[in-house]
Structure 1
């Protein structure tokens, strides 16, 4: 009986999988011109990978739907129940197939697979239903034909119970096992996190991710995530770009052209507030090595995080996307938008690109996101081959052994390379290796010993890296993902909530920049490209090179609790999309209403970011020539 049951279930799902693959083929054919540069092998890989997403959504909807059909094939149940089961099976799967056809046309408007945000235009769809049906009759016809095919095949299922002599317990056990298998299929495998839409874009080239995805999966995986509302402070989008271009006015690049290609290493420190350092503070701090590095290189004391969580930091640093909505970009409705990360222009210049995270693969969604940002190689806990004592028992590998592993891996990469490493030891619960339990100053905060340990790990990393041939030709960028708890009164304010270190260091060059100006994580990508003299024709309109910042044009942006902020040198602008904007000092006292220039600036930021996310135009916003 169990074999017959699985043969029956497999046949039903195989047909549904075929219909979904047919929809994928139609999508590919509709937009084949976008994939002309892809090889046949890459396209076939996208189709195969897409089966994983098809299995997930089809099992999620059918694990219960097929039960009455299965019962009707093996047991004497009321015929009406079997018939209703067939109708329900056809209706639900027919709707899924029709939804899968939406992007045969709608994709041309958005450039991405449709998500739950389509509900934001449901009234327009209802009002325009007749003309949509007329203008897109070919899509309607395709949907009707596939629906009819599904209906006819399902109605053919005859009510002919196979009366087995074996007890019903066999069926129960077999179906229970099927449910267990289905759960695995729905979550997409045994990986740490369930299957997410952005994982589709881990494929190379990443634009094939839209071929990998199916629209029902994308819609239902974004249910519960509220879409952001479009804004319209300015009727002409080019006015937005004009305002932002004026604020982004840069000095001419005077950086030297290198005869030897330069490597880049980005170090992102977990929960490192500027408050914990000694430099620029009236106390010793807990980071003697980082302080020494900062004193001899470019250190920006007015640097800010663009958000409060790690999942905001990665897009800010690697793609100049700040966290200006409640949901982090990585898990938002817009996670499948066109992404032009730091890896893209550098891969075009022959750079080897990689990202290292000492935590479990899948943690924070970094594996999928960094692939989308064109960091071709991801190294997580799964790839680490060190001692079991290096595991902290919670998150992943302790910073000291992991940074040594990172250094050893860099030794194997062809130059030039760009590589990012994200540390974890200063993350709660702040565990330390046994040998270092009582080594570092405790202070008044639980985090301080782990800050001291990570600083020590950085020291040992640089001591060993100095011995490697790539070191002399490498730009190091050191920053943090976000701040953590406070114990210094001077940091118990909005400024302190976002103040993190930013250091640019090159062992063989004296770097020049105005470090008194405001900087933030979204400045890192344009700064690195500026340093390397690599153009980025699709640069975001937020973020500046620190090597070209000008007084009066420097800023940082962030968002929390429905409140936008733009940090300036002496004060900051604060407000929400539906309220007035005010100027506050860095003790969080309101000074005055924002003037017209300040008001237009923050409104331009909000409109650019919000509408750019919704319309997938963040890197393709209509621009005008910047004022001279």
Structure 2
């Protein structure tokens, strides 16, 4: 923050009329700015200290919401804090700083500088770069961000390391993030009936203890959860795409438990990772929940895997979208592996290749003596669609005519080959894992982080393209030969169901406080909530229909996802639309509530 103030002074102060030492107007201007800046900084820290004393949270933009009830809020502040002494303290400290600035300014003004033009340029450039370094925060691909504070291992350490400017201005765009408590309470029974639990006496409490269910594994299996970048279902071999882009993964699906109607709540990797880890759809707007400091504290079922070592492997940096804060702040004793932790070389902006990421993760997991829960997040199936030189002899690229590519969902051969390269990576992971002792007692779970928009008309009814359902349709596979009998399941599921299903399968008792459900529980009702932040739409996929509602205009639509026939305009389908509309409202309002209230146990 100091450097942000100094850089304009350095640049503008080099203009003669604004020079802080040789120009009288320049001196007045900069001394005034320094004085105002001092008062501003002292005020921020004073309010920050009071805010932390009251809420045990560093100052953030949600404090501005108190202005909506300004009279009551100011009365509380006046009666709770020594306002007069605080104001006097701020003014006295500001006066002291201004006096110091003036003393230093007079001392510097008396000095004589005889440097050459070259030396002036050298010192100017050096100072500019030093300030730039402190603004960026570290020598790395991504700047220092507020989420890095939560890598320290506790909320207190994170709070201690933050500063009020960063926490306030980072959260400013999110200050209107809220929920309608009355609606959440009214719709709680809808959530309970669809998730098959009875809400507690407190209708705002959705937490329920889930006991191990019959048919679960009793071997304390290892878990390897692979979050697959842009793994769009209609582009893959499992759904009959003639380009046969994922033949190996298709073979795994014939050997495992494959859910062919799984949907992500929304589009985007950050939102997909959030939904998978927390079990709550990310309905935050305009930015993602991972970027909101007020939502960084979240419960995750992963912590119910007691006695398991926890790992997260990413080929690049978790500074992206502030995911580091979500992971390190919420997953107990997490071993986080990023780009600089591997021997493999970086190939593009996303870090090392997916193939090498899988091999590096396998090397770590092969040394484990305890049960483990490992998450591997891929990135290659993404622009710039890099295929590493080291793999191009074994991985043979293919070329198809443009009309064939566009007919079956691809915009270019580069995109299609990058999609094929993901299949190459999955093969390398399974081949390497089969050689290790952990393989026979491991459940591999693969789920797409999101789908990709494109033309799916050759493979699915038109609604999948026209209503953008293909951007949320992803494969979900549980692969554990010897532990799970192969089956293909058509029941509708969601990304938020992944962790409850893993826990149920693993014979783990767990606390579920989110919107996820165990897809392998025979009592489960199949449905998936969907959210389109770009078009302000919410909806539900259930049975053979997609229901959507525009948040601003409240316009509703009901379309078939099993054929191209128009939905009949009759009483029966009006009732279906009404019920799906109520469920949509319940899921959306509850998701908004959970983003701010699904905190770790004990919080």
Alpha-carbon distance in 2 for matches of 1:63, 1:200: 25
Deviations 1:53-104 (A, max 9, x none): xxxx2322344469999999994543x7545544432332322332234344
Deviations 1:402-450 (A, max 9, x none): 3222211211234211111122232223232332564457461332222
Q: Name the counterpart of 2:382.
A: 427
SS of 1:302 mapped into structure 2: strand
- Choose from 162, 167, 177 the match for 1:218: 167
Alpha-carbon distance in 2 for matches of 1:342, 1:441: 43
Alpha-carbon distance in 2 for matches of 1:595, 1:452: 39
Shift of 1:499: 0.9
Alpha-carbon distance change, 350 to 254 in structure 1, aligned in 2, over 3 angstroms? closer
Corresponding position: 1:583 with 2:583? no
Q: Name the counterpart of 2:339.
A: 381
- Choose from 176, 191, 209 the match for 2:158: 209
SS of 2:313 mapped into structure 1: strand
Q: CA RMSD in A?
A: 3.5
Shift of 1:504: 1.0
Q: Name the counterpart of 2:33.
A: 88
Alpha-carbon distance change, 145 to 249 in structure 1, aligned in 2, over 3 angstroms? same
SS of 2:531 mapped into structure 1: strand
Q: Name the counterpart of 2:469.
A: 495
Q: Name the counterpart of 1:187.
A: 136
Alpha-carbon distance change, 149 to 114 in structure 1, aligned in 2, over 3 angstroms? closer
Alpha-carbon distance change, 74 to 162 in structure 1, aligned in 2, over 3 angstroms? farther
- Choose from 463, 468, 474 the match for 2:431: 463
Alpha-carbon distance in 2 for matches of 1:301, 1:97: 57
Alpha-carbon distance in 2 for matches of 1:236, 1:438: 55
Corresponding position: 1:352 with 2:296? no
Q: Name the counterpart of 1:311.
A: 270
Alpha-carbon distance in 2 for matches of 1:620, 1:525: 16
Maintained 8 Å contact 1:357/1:421: yes
Maintained 8 Å contact 1:90/1:150: yes
Q: Name the counterpart of 1:599.
A: 581
Shift of 1:584: 2.8
User: TM-score by structure 1 length?
Assistant: 0.78
SS of 2:234 mapped into structure 1: helix
- Choose from 114, 128, 131 the match for 1:166: 114
Alpha-carbon distance in 2 for matches of 1:192, 1:589: 51
Corresponding position: 1:417 with 2:347? no
Deviations 1:349-405 (A, max 9, x none): 12221111223563444444322342722222222213x5xx544533233333222
Q: Name the counterpart of 2:519.
A: 546
Question: Which moved further from structure 2: 604-613 or 579-588?
Answer: 579-588
Alpha-carbon distance change, 91 to 394 in structure 1, aligned in 2, over 3 angstroms? closer
Maintained 8 Å contact 1:277/1:287: yes
Q: Name the counterpart of 1:564.
A: 538
Maintained 8 Å contact 1:66/1:85: no
Corresponding position: 1:508 with 2:489? no
- Choose from 433, 440, 449 the match for 1:481: 449
Shift of 1:522: 1.1
Q: Name the counterpart of 1:7.
A: none
Alpha-carbon distance change, 383 to 354 in structure 1, aligned in 2, over 3 angstroms? same
Alpha-carbon distance change, 549 to 328 in structure 1, aligned in 2, over 3 angstroms? farther
Q: Name the counterpart of 1:61.
A: 5
- Choose from 183, 196, 215 the match for 1:249: 196
Shift of 1:521: 1.1
Maintained 8 Å contact 1:472/1:507: yes
Q: Name the counterpart of 2:206.
A: none
Maintained 8 Å contact 1:201/1:207: no
Corresponding position: 1:617 with 2:591? no
Q: Name the counterpart of 2:419.
A: 451
Alpha-carbon distance in 2 for matches of 1:576, 1:121: 30
Structure 2: 5+ residue stretches without partners: 198-209
Alpha-carbon distance in 2 for matches of 1:165, 1:381: 46
- Choose from 149, 156, 169 the match for 1:200: 149
Alpha-carbon distance change, 315 to 207 in structure 1, aligned in 2, over 3 angstroms? farther
SS of 1:315 mapped into structure 2: helix
Shift of 1:483: 1.4
Maintained 8 Å contact 1:441/1:452: no
Q: Name the counterpart of 2:204.
A: none
Alpha-carbon distance change, 104 to 605 in structure 1, aligned in 2, over 3 angstroms? farther
Maintained 8 Å contact 2:269/2:450: yes
Structure 1: 5+ residue stretches without partners: 1-56, 622-628
